[in-house]
Structures are given as structure tokens and as C-alpha cells.
Amino acid sequence: MLNKGMSDETVNLGFAALADPVRRAIIARLSRGPATVNEIAEPFEISLQAVSKHIQVLEHAGLVTRTREAQRRPVHLNPDALEALTAWIDGYRLLHEQRFRRLDALLAPDATPAPRKEPS
């Protein structure tokens, strides 16, 4: 496997964290800059406690981190962890594409397009 130094468990947690629309909306919010839990929770109709739990899932997956700044504990996006997940997907997607390009080259060495077959 092309694992790019990530453990299976880290990849499991990362993708599982992204499989929820509230957590993805939190990622979208944090892409515009760090925010406190209260600021993040503001547009959601769910409880502050529920939002806080979603942030914990993202933090456990390494997708966000929390810092301490005076009285605030803003949540920050971790772009490296997001990049590691896209790198995992893209590794196999590109392998698949390369294979198809090689097949195309084998099947059409003179680059003449095959006549299109109409559906019957």
C-alpha cells in the first residue's frame, strides 16, 4: 500500500471524521481561519455540546488542533492531515489512470479512433 507514513488507524479516523456533514461544515468554517467552539457552533441548530463532540472527533483524527491564547482556545485546521488523506486517494486514482493510458496506447497504436457503436 502507498501509505505515505500514516498508520491504518490514522487513515481510518481521518476518513470516518469526514463522513459526517456537520464535521465537514466545521472543516469548511476553519478553512477561513481559526475559531473558538462558540464561534464554530453559532450557525448550527444542534447543541454546543454536540458541536464540541464533533470537534473532539476531528481533533482525535488529527484534522484539527487546539491552541491556548489567553482566555481563548481556538480550533485550527491541520492542512497536512487533510493533504495526507487526499494523497492516499490520489495515489490509487492516478495508478488506475496510468494503467488505462497504457491500455489505450496498446489498443490504438496508430491513434485512429474506433467507430462509435450506436446503442441498439
Nearer Cβ to a copy of itself (40/112): 40
Nearer Cβ to a copy of itself (27/66): 27
Residues 23 and 17: beta-carbon distance below 8 Å: yes
Nearer Cβ to a copy of itself (90/108): 90
Least spacing, CB of residue 107 vs a copy of itself, in Å? 14
- Please state, as a whole number, how many other Cβ atoms lie within 10 Å of the Cβ of residue 90: 13
Binding stretches for a copy of itself (CB under 8 A): 1-2, 8, 11-16, 18-21, 24-25, 27-28, 30-33, 77, 79, 82-83, 85-86, 88-90, 92-93, 95-97, 99
Taking CA atoms, 56 is separated from 37, 48, 62, 91, in Å, by 10, 12, 10, 28
Q: In which region does residue 5 sit, left (phi positive, over 0), alpha (psi from -120 to 50) or beta (all else)?
A: left
Least spacing, CB of residue 78 vs a copy of itself, in Å? 9
Nearer Cβ to a copy of itself (27/36): 27
User: Rounded distance, CA 40 to CA 34, Å?
Assistant: 9
